[in-house]
Copies of this chain bind each other. A is one copy, B any other.
C-alpha cells in the first residue's frame, strides 16, 4: 500500500484482443485541481459499479499511490467538481505469461478516442515481465502519456 509499480506501453495492432478476457470494465474518471502539473494527481474514478478516490505522486515506474473506495454517488458529485472533461475508456484484462495486463481503449473526450494503452502492475521494480508481441513503445517514463496529461494536452504527436 502506498506504492504503485507499473509499466506502460503503446499498443501496436489488435493482437491483444484474442487473449482478452471480457467483458471490459467501463471506466469514467476526472481530475481535481491542476491535472498534469508537477506534484500530486487527484483522480475520481467510476469503474463498473465501484468508485475510487486516488492520490498519485509524480509519475514513473515507481509511484506513490493512495486509493480509497468511495460511494458511487459521492464520486459522481466530485466528478462534477472536476475542471477537466470526463475521460472514458474500456479496460480489458489480458493475461500473458503469468502477468495480468490491462489494455485501455479510450472513448472520450473525442480527441483521445481510439488511443490504446497497455499497462502491467508489478510486485517489485526488479520484476521483468515477458512482453506480449502486440506491445509498441514503452512510455512508462513519458509523462505525456499519464491520463491526467492526456486529458489536458491530448495525444502526443
Chain A positions within 8 Å of B, measured between CB atoms, are 1-2, 32-34, 37-42, 53, 55, 57, 64, 66, 68, 70, 74, 77-78, 81-83
Contact = CB atoms under 8 A, between A and B. Distances in A.
B81 A70 contact: no
Contacts of A74: 1-2, 66
12 contacts: A1-B74, A2-B74, A2-B77, A32-B39, A32-B42, A32-B55, A33-B39, A40-B81, A53-B68, A64-B78, A66-B70, A68-B68
Q: How many copies does the complex hold?
A: 2
A67 to B, nearest CB: 10
Given A34-B33, A55-B32, A66 B42 contact: no
A81 B39 contact: yes
Nearest to A68: B68
Chain A to chain B: the 6 pairs with minimum beta-carbon distance, closest first: A34-B34, A33-B33, A32-B40, A40-B81, A33-B34, A39-B83
B53 A81 contact: no
B42 A42 contact: yes
Contacts of A39: 32-33, 81, 83
